Chains A and B, each alone.
Chain A
Amino acid sequence: MKHLIIKDIINSELAVSTENGEKVFKLIDSYLQKKEKVELDFVGISIMITAFLNAAIGKLYGKKEYTPDFLNEYLKLKNVELEDRSLFKDVIQRAKEYFANKEDFEKNSNNAIYGND
């Protein structure tokens, strides 16, 4: 299992930018492509925001081969503070919706603002 320490990858204790999220995503993706299990370690991360997680984790759902079952088996999260866990839940749920069908999503958004008529 590959042990990836976020704060070492982004060289910061603040997981707050989309660009740094992308860095983490690319690394996770490179190991998952080889079917190597990844342990993603959030040790020492003091602040984390949705923009970072959208890029680091949410983006995984853009790849069809990464099913929820696959990710549950191959990607383990470590040292995530209790108060940060709801962010993961939100980001994952959001990414699943977003990537399920982007076109449908855009159509639904239109309905949400203009109604269905």
Chain B
Amino acid sequence: MTITIPNDIRSEFEGYNYIITWINKYKNVKNTEIIFDFGRVTFLEANLCALIGTIFEMLESNNNIISIINIQPQVETILRKNEFLLPFGFNKITDYNDTVLRYRKFTPTDDLGFNNYIHNELLNKRQFPSHSEKLGKEITRNIFEIYENARTHGQCDYIHSCGQFYPNKLNKPLYFTIVDKGVNIKQNVSAFFNQDIDAANAIEWAMKKGNTTKSGDTSGGLGLAVIFEFIKHNKGKIQIISSNGFYEYKNENTTKRKLTTIFEGTIVNIKFNLNDSNYYSLVNEEEDFENIF
């Protein structure tokens, strides 16, 4: 079976809706050799490899064998630099620009692996803002919050991660994407309320401080809220796609929409602005820390 990948899929509602609807047509395919034809793809946002990797994981879990053909040179270069193509018989190309955060997948227990990944791929990058240590720290913290969230709520087999810097653009954006195909936010929130909750509303609920589906002897409900606060200050962007819900925050605007079909997992795509020289610590430093309890 040959599947032709459409050209110019972007990380916008239409792009996600297209790719998820399209790939769901193949979700029941089993024990088949699937050839992905990249011939039409002339541009690919590198961080979307996290989503494509998750789709491949879904197909491979049905005993399908995946191969890739007709990849255009400019796309091939990017996907060899970020190592996405390496399992498919391609060799690595060194990223001399140092702008690629390699594609990787992690098991939920491999927090050490993820730690090393962030250390090597992000913190050690010469493009990472050394002029603002606090900004770098906040960005790293937020990435770990997303990872921990996927790890503890998703009950997934793998967490897929990928990213790309654009140091020559005005805001020096860093795009970072984490995808898991575990339990989605709609399922978690609906189970918590024992009622069917609209997916986009479930995502919005989970973004609010204090809201959590965790129960038991540990409190929660801060991780996504911390990220949301930071994105607001950083004037960045966050998109969360989970089940058939699409949630986006950018430029002080929230968009909630419904996808045509269900994504059986969660995509978190974040744009951080690395030239945020106005960034200042979000703390009230005069707080009485002696009697904090």
Give residues in A with beta carbon < 8 Å to B.
12, 14, 16-18, 46-51, 54-55, 58-59, 61-62, 68, 71-72, 75, 77, 80, 82-92, 94-95, 97-99, 102, 109-110, 112-114
Do residues A58 and B115 form an inter-chain contact, with CB atoms below 8 A?
Answer: no
B282 interface contact, C-beta 8 A: yes
Instruction: Say yes or no: A46-B137 contact (C-beta < 8 A), given A16-B111, A72-B291, A110-B193.
Output: yes
Docked CA distance A47–B201 (Å): 31
B281 within 8 A of A: yes
Contacting residue for A99 out of B138, B140, B147, B219, CB 8 A? B219
Interface residues in chain B, defined as those with a beta carbon under 8 Å from any beta carbon in chain A: 111-112, 115, 134, 137-138, 140-141, 144-145, 147-149, 151-152, 192-193, 197, 201, 205, 208-211, 215, 217-223, 226, 281-285, 287, 289-293
Closest-by-CB residue of A relative to B152 is A18
Chain A residues with CB below 8 A from B208, complex form: 112
B289–A77 CB distance below 8 A: yes
Nearest first, the 10 closest Cβ-Cβ pairs linking A and B are A71-B293, A98-B219, A50-B222, A86-B283, A51-B148, A16-B144, A95-B219, A83-B281, A58-B219, A68-B293
Quick one: closest B residue to A84, CB to CB?
Answer: B283
**Distance of B131 from chain A, by nearest CB (Å):** 16
Query: Within the complex, which residue of A18, A46, A75, A87 is in contact with B226, where a contact is CB–CB below 8 Å?
Result: A87
Q: Which residue of B has the minimal Cβ distance to A12?
A: B115
- What are 16 A-B interface contacts by the 8 Å CB criterion? A12-B115, A16-B111, A17-B148, A49-B223, A51-B145, A51-B148, A58-B218, A58-B219, A62-B218, A72-B291, A85-B283, A85-B292, A86-B284, A112-B211, A113-B197, A113-B205
